[in-house]
A and B are shown apart, each in its own frame.
Chain A
């Protein structure tokens, strides 16, 4: 690691640092294993996560979804180097509930997910902690693709949406209408969304039933 790296988040499976990198300010995401997992399996799993994260970051950027620019993948040390986004986490923006235009934000989120799904990238952890808003041009940035994968199945895309809905229900209970606006923008900007939204209704129903039982 470079000497000037500053730890900004210690998670369960990754440490996130900021550091100067080749004339820019970068984010370094370092993945580490879990002690209870078999070491060989663990190494494989970590490598797969890094591969998925790097590939999805690039694929999304190329497809017009704003994501951090991928700078460098260090597989040998389980690190991804990427652009540092000057911006705010959407979760905090909503929680602070200050001077943000909620309808515009919802539309941006819906469009970003539509673009991501239209190239068959399933994010896998679509929460408001993994969405940033750039300070400079207020562009919506999607981050944290460690659980992402490629799939064209409507069911997989529906589950992605469901994860985001659960986030709104649990973290932003007073902003349920915002999720409805996200869905609306998603539908409007994604031709193939009809089947996905039908699946989404199923997934939701199953979720409710599960909640009533459990």
Chain B
């Protein structure tokens, strides 16, 4: 787990990010998410579309901004985080591509606010999987899918450059 404070939203508490691998109950989790189960107040993200933690921070920052300005495009802060990972404005597509699917085995969880240990024990009871260090994040990213979703030119191989394009395409969405 890693914890971050967001400069622009000091009153919103800390942001906690978890990584789970070998997850076995994604199907169940997704069903509960679809039925708006209040116990699952987290952003559940498919780890294969994540290249770097900064990508998650940018999406979360954008979601917090939309919440503060009352311009959420989706129904809550959690779906807004998932939505903001996408470079496109199509909400269904964003949730399908960046949220978890029935067969996801590696999952990133973002939680805005709350106390780290409580969140951790709650997540461990919800998710049938192994919590692992976020340093392993890059192992679960699928560069081919990531480049496709963010429309990164195939000629570009430098990971830093790919990340910069990902971040830019998320940021430019608000003026597209």
Contact = CB atoms under 8 A, between A and B. Distances in A.
Interface of A: 2-4, 19-24, 50-51, 54-55, 57-58, 61-62, 69-76, 81, 83
Contact of B164 (A22, A55, A69): A69
A61 B168 contact: yes
A212 B167 CA distance: 49
B1 to A, nearest CB: 16
Interface centre among A2, A19, A24 (most CB of B within 10 A): A2
Nearest to A52: B175
B34 interface: no
A61 B167 CA distance: 11
A202 to B, nearest CB: 34
Interface centre among A22, A61, A73, A81 (most CB of B within 10 A): A22
A161 B58 CA distance: 36
Nearest to B15: A22
A75 B69 CA distance: 10
A2 B8 contact: yes
Interface residues of B, number: 23
B100 to A, nearest CB: 24
B73 interface: no
Contacts of A69: 164, 167-168
25 contacts: A2-B7, A2-B8, A3-B7, A19-B7, A20-B7, A22-B4, A22-B54, A23-B57, A51-B175, A54-B171, A54-B172, A57-B168, A58-B169, A61-B165, A62-B168, A69-B168, A70-B168, A70-B172, A72-B62, A72-B171, A73-B174, A74-B65, A76-B65, A76-B71, A83-B164
Contacts of B171: 54, 58, 70-73, 81
Given A2-B7, A70-B168, A50 B54 contact: no
A62 B155 CA distance: 11
Judged by DSSP, the binding face of A is mixed
Contact of B7 (A22, A51, A58): A22
Contacts of B69: 76
Judged by DSSP, the binding face of B is helix
B65 A54 contact: no
A75 B176 CA distance: 12
Contacts of B57: 22-23
B25 interface: no
A23 B168 contact: no
Interface in B41-75: 54, 57-58, 61-62, 65, 69, 71
Interface centre among A4, A51, A54, A58 (most CB of B within 10 A): A58
A71 B55 CA distance: 10
Interface centre among B4, B7, B54, B57 (most CB of A within 10 A): B7
A51 B174 CA distance: 9
Interface centre among B7, B153, B168, B172 (most CB of A within 10 A): B168
B156 to A, nearest CB: 9
Contact of B175 (A61, A62, A73): A73
A93 B7 CA distance: 34
A14 B90 CA distance: 33
Contacts of B165: 61-62
A51 B165 CA distance: 17
Given A50-B175, A58-B169, A72 B4 contact: no
Contacts of A23: 4, 54, 57
A72 B174 CA distance: 9
Interface in B1-26: 4, 6-8
Contacts of A72: 58, 61-62, 65, 171
